[in-house]
Amino acid sequence: MFTGLAAFPLTPMNERGIDEQALIQLLIRLTSAKVDSIGVLGSTGSYVYLNREERLRVAQLAIEYAKGIPVMIGISALRTRDVLQLAEDAQKTGANAVLLAPVSYQQLTDDEVFSLYETVTKSLSIPLCVYDNPSTTHFRFSDHLHGHIAQLPKVRSIKIPGVPDLVSAKQRVEQLRAHIPKDVTIGTSGDPYAVVGLNAGCEAWYSVLGGLYPDICIRITRAALGGHSVNAESQSAFLAPLWQMFQRYGSLRVVATIAEMQGLTNYPSLPLPLKSLDGLARQELGSILADLQLDS
């Protein structure tokens, strides 16, 4: 399941709770588009802002509405105790895989991070994807540590940060591959550079925009994985104005704002203190969307 387009939908919410109807509508868009897998409760799913009961409910809805598409559930938390509980919840719910990032408050050591993955994988009967996202976890994996963790049972994929240019991306993928078992896939994230990652040899795109606009993201993924790198690049380049907004405001705020503006979610849809875009930024995003005319 760790190949192709993994679509990460928002978890629409407000200060009273999760907007279940909006989440269901987002899930239906993903199954209609036939994404390769669905990843709920990733960064885009605002996992760390939800309590255990809310995370369980999102997991249940995702599996109920996935129509057989594999579902990966984010189980990251600051404390190992909580990660273990979330892993148990995910497995009981029928998840096909879990996604785990070393989220931190106190800066973590390599030894602490390895022990986290070692402890959690021991408790798992389903595969795990390592979530390497230094911009939110503030933890930097060495290749040595990646290699060590990738050899743990159940580890089947690594979600790496985006690399802006093809030469560096190819180097990055090659270097990482030299450290990890052959059956562990590498998936790119950082949507603006996802096409670079796919063209550089990543087997999967762990995608933010794919959680909202799966069709175009599937087309980019299929083109790149099918060897049509120039076609994939030009499709991604078409989205450049959107990628610039991602880089300026963070992908979560941008996709949440789009979902609100398009009526796919209510307003507000993000957990305070996070806010979607307002004022001129919201207007600019509206113009970009009007130009791009994206379908689902």
Catalytic residues: 131, 159
Binding region for a copy of itself (CB under 8 A) out of 30-38, 77-85, 228-236, 239-247: 77-85
Q: Which of 172, 180, 149 is nearest to 188 (CA)?
A: 172
Residues 208-267 touching a copy of itself, rule: CB under 8 A, are 250, 252-253
- What distance in Å separates the CA atoms of residue 178 and residue 135, rounded to the nearest whole number? 24
For a copy of itself, give the closer residue by CB, 112 or 203. 112
Q: Is 44 annotated as a binding residue?
A: yes
The answer to whether 78 contacts a copy of itself (rule: CB under 8 A) is yes
Contacts of 113 (CB under 8 A, 6+ apart): 102, 139, 141, 145, 149
The answer to whether 105 contacts a copy of itself (rule: CB under 8 A) is yes
- What distance in Å separates the CA atoms of residue 61 and residue 261, rounded to the nearest whole number? 24
The answer to whether 27 contacts a copy of itself (rule: CB under 8 A) is no
Rounded to a whole number of angstroms, the minimum distance from the CB of residue 275 to a copy of itself is 6
Of the candidates 60, 91, 96, 138, which one interacts with a copy of itself according to CB under 8 A? 138
Rounded to a whole number of angstroms, the minimum distance from the CB of residue 166 to a copy of itself is 27
What's the N-to-C CA distance of the chain in angstroms?
Answer: 22
For a copy of itself, give the closer residue by CB, 120 or 204. 120
Looking at the chain, how many residues does it have? 296
Rounded to a whole number of angstroms, the minimum distance from the CB of residue 135 to a copy of itself is 7
The answer to whether 54 contacts a copy of itself (rule: CB under 8 A) is no
The answer to whether 152 contacts a copy of itself (rule: CB under 8 A) is no
The answer to whether 295 contacts a copy of itself (rule: CB under 8 A) is no
State the residue for tokens 């941008």.
254
Of the candidates 21, 32, 80, 123, which one interacts with a copy of itself according to CB under 8 A? 80
Judge if the upstream peptide bond of residue 268 is cis by omega within 30 degrees of 0. Answer: yes
The answer to whether 96 contacts a copy of itself (rule: CB under 8 A) is no
Query: Which residue positions form the known binding site?
Result: 44
Binding site for a copy of itself (CB under 8 A): 15, 43, 48-49, 78-81, 102-103, 105-109, 111-113, 115-116, 119, 135-136, 138, 250, 252-253, 271-275
Query: Which residue positions form the known binding site for pyruvate?
Result: 44
